[in-house]
Structure 1
């Protein structure tokens, strides 16, 4: 089980309670891996657990545009809005590469300001890790067993932060003040429809006899709407996308248990189950004070055991309960089955039903758009300048490819690709995942030369008892099994792609066909010699970002049976951090067997921004094929 911590990509560290992690996770027969990652501007799994977070939580424009990255580079490098919109980011790259990291962090902190509709350092469409929005990428997402859920009062944490940093009291929460708070946070999302949306939300969530001065009711109303917009609504949307892909193993939960150990004494009578409350139970991360003052009880221990058993059962079997009492979701929006984890835990119908209807059905119609919009924030030095007739890959932007309608045998086509282009590594086209195959199929359907081509050669060859790519270690295949491919003919050692359906067939290598050449550039080095984005490394894998957090002490790397890897970095914005986590997951796949782990049963799980990372990996084409 690989844990990715939360903190909005700006703060936090990957060190939960070590003794509690041993007791509640490792002692149940799994290997626990904790990864640290670089935060802020420096910033292979088979199953996924997402606690209180989806990619929408930290995705630019999910709740209206924030322009975070522009504001950072504007302050640090004097970049104007017109320069940003031009799409040429070479000046940014040069500026950031030559800037002292401490100065860069200082600029980031100065430029951060108040971004009320953003809880994270937002992810963006970068034409690499995220070549589209989650919605546009969902159709190619691999179906894997998934646990996804939320806490009852997620936004309560952030309302408490607001209260602690202002003179606000419970008596402030009237109708007028609550509408002011929601307008302050979400006006950028609701736009001209803010007042109409507030009237609608009040009619849905409040009893008709609520007075304007019912302080606790209005506080709960603000928390309910914040919880819906950032968490439960996006979770419902992700469940819907999974079910549209016929994923049969999506397990939804809501954590409703209020513990005395999590007591909020700010307002008497208010007992929110806030953002991150579940982590203390999963990792048994209770403080010495909690133990000494007896604020914990047997119910707390039972909830912790429920989490530990469900999470590790899922990691081992793909199902959270051995008796089948926690059933997978079979419908979205109106009646999503879920499991309540609380004082009376058990299966329930209709997960946050009101939240789903207003967020995923009513609001998109009211405001006239479904966010995030397909609005790219591309480049950061990634545009290559492909040669004439070549197109740059969207899934893998360091690859350029083109079809050649000159019929050749497979050996001659290989030679032609390698010799004709001497400035870069060039081979027949490699296809690493379903996203690339879908992209290539679209290209073949729209290219005039491809329409006169039969079945072009790609770079897959028979090798012993298996198949191997010319320039890749990938193992993705898309055989035309309905037509009997691959055949067992030993002479049919080369592979073509059918432009009509994207399926592959093997045939004799001496048959002349058209072919697709692919040029591969070294990552980070563009054809126009733009400098690569900067990555700053630090000793011992400590994380560097908006806040400075101490990484795991080396003496704690092996505590009992816990196997902990630290210092796997994220990297530069906008989503360079997530690209590096792909490498971390590959490392886990390659090495975990040396620590007693099974590389075929890896579960990646996280909370808050960590859950957003987990969810992001399920969408990204870079993560396909490594889990």
Structure 2
């Protein structure tokens, strides 16, 4: 009788909880997962079935002596691996832009959502790289319910990965003590795992598409250029991101976050790139410094604002991951089928009125103020005046009164959406097309009614950075909330369905369903209906990519001197040799 009561109690405790129901044998050991079935009715809000595998380690935990080192391979698993919930996000500061879940330095895990492991198949694979300015975010924000509905149900395997952020992934002395671009090496390690293991989950390692948004889009672009990522994927989808959106060089005249933080954290004022003593002090200081201290960003200096591009944690020119300038690497890039997306009003998310609804500070001076805030401290006053004049001429529609605050706000959003994102994406499109890559272009133009950051009332409803995410991923919390309040319209469902089909068709065939860009840069304006246009971001290309460099030089400055180039390649060769030796310790 007592045993029966215990069994009943256990059944009551576990009722409704997810249980492991499936296991996969990989070369590293057993991975356990569970199956979900949301039904086959495509008229329902959620549908589709899949095997779900969460929290799969793809590298050794970057702890202790590995804290600031390149990722090390994980060879055999110790027992079964796999979780019933997402693992913590990589260590980061709390942010309203990345709600939910805990964070930890032990974070190098990935997740696999596959139609089925019961029947041998070779589904195309889509690997998602999350965004968050290389400082925040995690795989837990891209839940499997929506992914199964909008992506997996169309016949693909979806993999979501994590990588070290902020100082953990990007603080560097450009030497072996603190190797550059660790976060990108983490991504490469995850992609190596996909190549080695995804067949066991029903995926085709010869048909891998990498896609990502914001910093994830920057990562997709960066990996497509890096020689270290060759052969790990075959198609690319950068969304609202290109290598030059967030990229810098060690001699960037705008300054460097590494020198600033070395002084702030450890009172190291000597240049850690050239001073061995400075690096030794940093090693001792940073070995035990707390996560809170490392992620506690200081307030920016007055006049620079929070989005100055020279004070972020960015990928850097390093002699190994990026042995040449991006433009040079683009000429050596393999031909990748490419789908590029930006949103109509990218910059709105980075403007105060978007959240406050207060446009009273928006006037003719907003163009110059935003340029300064964006970090262009290397421009002279004369150059600033010339650029402000050119931007105003190109984006002002008719003469605006100085007190037309809303009008100037709209000019600033349009101008800096182009300057901050779209010009770099057009540049990447130029490079891709020049190399013969089949290239598709789109601008997201649907007001994000269901989810995403909401704009305060200004009389203007922009379509900001990040607006497409909830439609592509069909994020469950947002859609259920919208359904409960009867806010979902047929057009919302159409946008989500269109994105899911276009993205998965591209992963399968390299085609989207709309015309390739061709010589006239054809694109679609993406909403509940797709409207074809030409000259995608042509104005931005002519102004920012062609005209301004003739006035102010390389824009932004990414090239390095021959001496620095030599030092980077010397250090990069040593760093790369040590990493490759560590990879060889796990023969495949």
**TM-score, normalised via structure 1 length:** 0.56
Equivalent position SS for 1:137: helix
Equivalent position SS for 2:450: helix
Give the equivalent residue in structure 2 for 1:117.
Answer: 308
Within 5 Å, give how 1:101-116 maps onto structure 2: 101-103=288-290, 106-107=293-294, 109-111=296-298, 113=300, 116=307
Check whether the contact 1:68–1:122 (CA below 8 A) recurs between aligned residues.
no
Is residue 276 from structure 1 mapped to residue 466 from structure 2 by the alignment?
A: yes
Give the equivalent residue in structure 1 for 2:525.
Answer: 340
How far apart, in 1, do the equivalents of 2:443 and 2:318 lie?
Answer: 33
How far apart, in 2, do the equivalents of 1:288 and 1:376 lie?
Answer: 54
- CA offset at residue 19 of structure 1? 1.0
- CA offset at residue 115 of structure 1? 5.3
Check whether the contact 1:117–1:188 (CA below 8 A) recurs between aligned residues.
no
Give the equivalent residue in structure 2 for 1:10.
Answer: 135
Give the equivalent residue in structure 1 for 2:515.
Answer: 327
Is residue 74 from structure 1 mapped to residue 199 from structure 2 by the alignment?
A: no
Check whether the contact 1:178–1:219 (CA below 8 A) recurs between aligned residues.
no
Give the equivalent residue in structure 1 for 2:156.
Answer: 30
Give the equivalent residue in structure 2 for 1:245.
Answer: 435
- CA offset at residue 163 of structure 1? 5.2
How far apart, in 2, do the equivalents of 1:2 and 1:20 lie?
Answer: 15
How far apart, in 1, do the equivalents of 2:280 and 2:507 lie?
Answer: 41
Check whether the contact 1:329–1:338 (CA below 8 A) recurs between aligned residues.
yes
Segments of 5+ residues of structure 1 without an aligned counterpart are: 385-391, 400-520, 526-579, 591-627
- CA offset at residue 219 of structure 1? 0.7
In the alignment, which of 351, 365, 374 is matched to residue 559 of structure 2? Answer: 374
In the alignment, which of 54, 57, 60 is matched to residue 248 of structure 2? Answer: 60
Segments of 5+ residues of structure 2 without an aligned counterpart are: 1-125, 170-231
Check whether the contact 1:152–1:273 (CA below 8 A) recurs between aligned residues.
yes
- The verdict on how the C-alpha distance between 1:227 and 1:123 changes in structure 2, with shifts beyond 3 A counting, is same
Is residue 140 from structure 1 mapped to residue 332 from structure 2 by the alignment?
A: yes
Is residue 295 from structure 1 mapped to residue 487 from structure 2 by the alignment?
A: yes
Check whether the contact 2:450–2:470 (CA below 8 A) recurs between aligned residues.
no
Give the equivalent residue in structure 1 for 2:542.
Answer: 357
Give the equivalent residue in structure 2 for 1:172.
Answer: 361
Question: Max radius of gyration: which structure?
Answer: 1
- CA offset at residue 269 of structure 1? 2.3
How far apart, in 1, do the equivalents of 2:562 and 2:297 lie?
Answer: 22
Equivalent position SS for 1:155: helix
Within 5 Å, give how 1:203-242 maps onto structure 2: 203-242=393-432
Check whether the contact 2:249–2:317 (CA below 8 A) recurs between aligned residues.
no
How far apart, in 1, do the equivalents of 2:395 and 2:512 lie?
Answer: 32
How far apart, in 2, do the equivalents of 1:41 and 1:177 lie?
Answer: 32
- CA offset at residue 366 of structure 1? 1.8
Is residue 522 from structure 1 mapped to residue 585 from structure 2 by the alignment?
A: no
Within 5 Å, give how 1:476-555 maps onto structure 2: 522-523=578-579
Give the equivalent residue in structure 1 for 2:286.
Answer: 99
Structure with the larger RCO, 1 or 2 (CA within 8 Å, 6+ apart): 1
**TM-score, normalised via structure 2 length:** 0.60
In the alignment, which of 347, 350, 361 is matched to residue 158 of structure 1? Answer: 350
- The verdict on how the C-alpha distance between 1:273 and 1:121 changes in structure 2, with shifts beyond 3 A counting, is same
- CA offset at residue 9 of structure 1? 1.0
- CA offset at residue 396 of structure 1? 4.3
Give the equivalent residue in structure 2 for 1:19.
Answer: 145
- CA offset at residue 377 of structure 1? 12
Check whether the contact 2:368–2:384 (CA below 8 A) recurs between aligned residues.
no
- CA offset at residue 296 of structure 1? 2.0
Map Cα deviations across residues 494-542 of structure 1 (whole Å, 9 max, x no partner): xxxxxxxxxxxxxxxxxxxxxxxxxxx53499xxxxxxxxxxxxxxxxx
Give the equivalent residue in structure 2 for 1:462.
Answer: none
- CA offset at residue 89 of structure 1? 5.0
Is residue 202 from structure 1 mapped to residue 387 from structure 2 by the alignment?
A: no
How far apart, in 2, do the equivalents of 1:60 and 1:376 lie?
Answer: 14
- The verdict on how the C-alpha distance between 1:100 and 1:287 changes in structure 2, with shifts beyond 3 A counting, is farther
Is residue 45 from structure 1 mapped to residue 233 from structure 2 by the alignment?
A: yes
How far apart, in 2, do the equivalents of 1:90 and 1:134 lie?
Answer: 32
How far apart, in 2, do the equivalents of 1:212 and 1:347 lie?
Answer: 36
How far apart, in 2, do the equivalents of 1:94 and 1:84 lie?
Answer: 9
